[in-house]
Structure 1
Amino acid sequence: MRKTESQKIALCGVLGALSVVLMLVGAALQVGTYAAPMFAAFLLVPVLEEYGPRYALLLYAMVSILAVLLVPETELALFYVLVVGYYPVLRRALRKLKPAALRWALTFLIFNGATVAVYLVLAAVFGPVIWQELMADGMPVLVLLLATGNLAFFLCDRALAAITRYYHLVLRKRLKHFF
């Protein structure tokens, strides 16, 4: 069945709204600063697999704008915008690199660079308060947090791979009736 533009827009609209709601819930619960953006990024998988990277990036841009405007927790919104929101599309491009070591090195370089960018933006917006809060526990705690973040990002990558496989095996057949 041929997918019409209205079907594409409808799916992107519904998944975009659900992504923003996930981030709002994450901000309200105060425990979803990193989990809510990851779950919202997972919602790009159906759009990426059905309609390609162009529509997935368009959905990412729409959700990013709405997150910055609507989500009260700036760190959560920036974590989606700069770190994990675009990752499903980037992951597809990185999967084409043959040496696995190069692929993982680029992935972690991008993740760590984006994480540093989040805190640089926060420091630019909120001033020295952010630096004081980050440095309050010392450099070893910052290194431990970055290592923990890398582990969480690795788990996010594995979950994204599992969701993509599950989508191809099960969900695609079920969603064909709707879209």
Structure 2
Amino acid sequence: MKKNYRLAFNVAFCGIVTALAVVFMFLSIIPSFAYVVPAFSGIVIWTVTQHMNVKWAYLCYGASCLISLMLIPEPEANLFFVFFFGYYPTLCILLEKIKNKILRFLVKLVIFNAAVVLAYNLLVILFPVEDALEGLEIFGDLAIYAFWGFGNIAFVIYEFALITLKDAYIKLIKPKVAAKLK
């Protein structure tokens, strides 16, 4: 009986988290939220690892991706959620096993850059964008490198914010949620 209860709880909790992630993804229709919302949705999915395990978190990620791709009208936000922001906070748990901090950070940077290249190329193939680098004309031929550099700076900021938010969740929110779940 206890096993059935736990399975039912896990399914219900993951359903709620998946729905919450998709609801947040709907906010990506606001132009300035196109990058923020996928990042926040990934953090919401990460909370599953704190109450269950990585397997359940990736199930939430998969369900959130499928539902978002079907319902969310913003392709750029969807692709960045699918290719990076959705799974990255959970993947960090596995990457923490790399003891060398510099090597761990370099692996994270490679994952980010590979995800950005894949998402950008798919975005350009599926939705040809003539003005992808609009606003970066002042950099001339170096615009793509400037864009890439800004992206890597944003990743470093995101990484520090992610660590801070995870620590805050574990210290402040997780004990309250765990108490309610017992």
TM-score (norm 1): 0.89
Which stretch has the larger CA shift, 169-178 or 65-74?
Answer: 169-178
Task: Measure the CA separation in 2 of the matches of 1:144 and 1:74.
Answer: 23
2:120 paired residue number? 119
Instruction: Give unpaired runs (5+ residues) of structure 2.
Output: none
How far apart are the structure 2 equivalents of 1:171 and 1:135?
40
Q: How is 1:43-122 mapped onto 2 (pairs within 5 angstroms)?
A: 43-122=44-123
Deviations, residues 62-115 of structure 1 (Å, cap 9, x unaligned): 101111111101111000000111101211111111221211111111101110
8 A contact 1:134–1:142 mirrored in 2: no
Q: CA deviation at 1:117?
A: 0.5
CA distances 1:110-137 after superposition (whole Å, capped 9, x unpaired): 10111010111112212xx32x323664
Query: What root-mean-square deviation, in Å, do the aligned CA atoms of Structure 1 and Structure 2 show?
Result: 1.9
Of residues 72-81 and 154-163 in structure 1, the stretch that sits farther from structure 2 once superposed is 154-163
Q: 1:135 & 1:159 partners in 2: Cα distance?
A: 26
- Displacement, 1:48? 1.0
After TM superposition, the structure 1 = structure 2 runs for residues 150-161 of structure 1, keeping only pairs within 5 Å, are 150-161=152-163
Q: Does 1:17 align with 2:19?
A: yes
SS of the counterpart of 1:176?
helix
Q: 3-state SS of the aligned residue for 1:72? A: coil
How many residue pairs match? The answer is 175
CA distance in 1, matches of 2:174, 2:106: 32
1:116/1:62 Cα in 2 relative to 1: closer, same or farther (>3 Å)?
same
- TM-score, normalised via structure 2 length: 0.88
